[in-house]
A and B are shown apart, each in its own frame.
Chain A
Amino acid sequence: MAELTAKTPCAGLLPISAGRVTVTEVDPGPMTAIAPFKGKEKTLAGALDRAHGLGGPAPGQTRVKGHVRILWFGHAHALLVGVAPKPTLARHAALTDQGDAWAVVQVEGAEARDVLARLTPLDLRDAVFAVDATARTELAHMQAAITRVGAQAWQMMVFRSMATTLVHDLDAAMRGVAARR
């Protein structure tokens, strides 16, 4: 039988750095979309807490416990990252495996916010987008999810098929910011 080698979405593309910004690929582990059945939002939050020690995230928020993270991921659904969901959750929500479907990168550094400001209309100021805030938004014309994971660090997700475009646009923005220092 053929031996298949798993490749990450950004294999051969990352890491890159320019100026005071670095982009690295993130291996998120398992990712599962969790969409509560009608009227099950409350019982799902309890089930999530019992199963993974994390409740349902409010819009625009993430909850973190150890290496497990749950992101608000849009209208009436969330994304569980870093662990496979316990089967008990299926009584309250539709569970959809999203592993391998997304490219996940971390943009980090003193000028990371200036780079992102060239690519997304999202308001990234501290007062609006604090650490652990998350948003679904536009990133260089792509559907994206952006999560702030540190004072100068943001994780960005786009569909896996767009990984090369993501890295290309980040690279151009990084060089533009660096050139104007």
Chain B
Amino acid sequence: MRIPCPICGNRDSREFDYMGHALTLDRPAPDAGLGAWDDYLHNRENPAGPTRDLWFHGLGCGAWLVVSRDTVTHEVFGAELARDVTGGRA
């Protein structure tokens, strides 16, 4: 599998660490309630098909990416800098 890092170009997947589903970028408000926080921390879909994950280019440029891929076909559709996805918010 190759991941198209927006900075480095196409790179072998061994240069990356998988960091979980990209929904972690959508952190609930501090007062969103226990249900929202429980969901955010612990509950994940297990999609057969398209998904969006965070990948860390640790053996490369060091950027965090949001990668779109298909869990069934293993096709990688693209990658964006997580910074650009979030507009720079933490």
Contact = CB atoms under 8 A, between A and B. Distances in A.
Interface of A: 59-60, 74-75, 121-123, 135-138, 143-144
Nearest to B13: A121
B11 A137 contact: yes
Closest 10 CB pairs of A and B: A121-B12, A75-B63, A138-B59, A75-B61, A74-B61, A74-B62, A75-B62, A59-B7, A136-B60, A138-B15
B14 A138 contact: yes
Interface string B1-19: 0000001111110110000
B8 A60 contact: yes
Interface residues of B, number: 15
Interface in B33-90: 57-63
Nearest to A143: B59
A75 B7 contact: yes
Contact of A136 (B8, B12, B14): B8
Contacts, number: 39
A60 B63 CA distance: 14
Interface of B: 7-12, 14-15, 57-63
Contacts of B11: 121-122, 137
Nearest to B6: A59
B86 to A, nearest CB: 14
A120 to B, nearest CB: 9
Given A74-B61, A137-B59, A143-B58, A59 B15 contact: no
Contacts of A59: 7-8, 61
B8 to A, nearest CB: 7
A143 to B, nearest CB: 6
Contacts of A74: 60-63
Nearest to B16: A138
Nearest to B15: A138
A117 to B, nearest CB: 12
Given A138-B15, A138-B59, A138-B60, 5 more contacts: A75-B57, A121-B11, A137-B11, A138-B12, A143-B58
Nearest to B10: A123
A138 B3 CA distance: 14
Contacts of A144: 59
Contacts of A121: 11-12, 14-15
B38 to A, nearest CB: 33
